[in-house]
Amino acid sequence: KYELRAIISSGVLLSLFFFAVLYNSYSRKIDMPTCVPFEKTFEKSAVKKIDDGLYEIYLVAHMWTFDPEEIEIPAGSTVDFYLTSKDIVHGFHINEEGVNMMAVPGTINKITTKFEEEGTYRFVCNEFCGTGHQNMMGKIIVK
Ligand code: CUA
């Protein structure tokens, strides 16, 4: 009897978490990171203009910086970030955009976000990665 109750309550909890994730991704417009099959091309940093207002950015994290460190895009641009790491696990966090991803060697993580407002968006590594961790940051200039 207790087991049944435990199973039901954990089931309820699980679906709560599930809906919390869905809620975040839809109503708050926070994009969920997705995993992309690994390819060597992503290990070379790049800022690619696909179309007007559409960019692809290949970000490479390594001790203790990001490549590229500074990115400039026009306001209203939608950006696909492809993130990987050359050495150990790093993080990638843009506070204002609700973007939060992990940079894992041998893995490509992708997130799409739109920069509506002009301004400077700082991104930081939010995964402790050694003595240079607190200096690991960059910026996206939107104008
Ligand atoms: Cu890279 Cu902390």
Question: Is 64 within 8 Å of 133 (Cβ atoms)?
Answer: yes
CB of residue 59 inside a 6 A radius of ligand 1: no
Distance 136 CA to ligand 1 centre (A): 6
In this predicted complex, what is the ipTM? 0.98
Number of domains the chain is built from: 2
Higher-scoring residue by pLDDT: 21, 84: 84
At residue 82, the pLDDT reads 96
Enter the pTM of the model: 0.80
Same domain for 89 and 61? yes
Same domain for 51 and 21? no
Number of H helices, E strands in the chain: 1, 11
CB of residue 136 inside a 6 A radius of ligand 1: yes
Atom number, ligand 1, closest to the C-alpha of residue 130: 2
Is residue 139 scored above 80 in pLDDT? yes
23 CB burial (10 A radius; 0-12, 13-18, 19+): exposed
For residue 135, the 8-state DSSP code is G
Measured between alpha carbons, how far is 118 from 96 in angstroms, rounded to an integer? 12
Distance 141 CA to ligand 1 centre (A): 21
Cα–Cα–Cα angle for 126, 93, 64, nearest 5°?
50
Same domain for 22 and 36? no
Q: Could you list the residue range(s) of the whole structural domain that residue 14 is in?
A: 1-30
Higher-scoring residue by pLDDT: 66, 6: 66
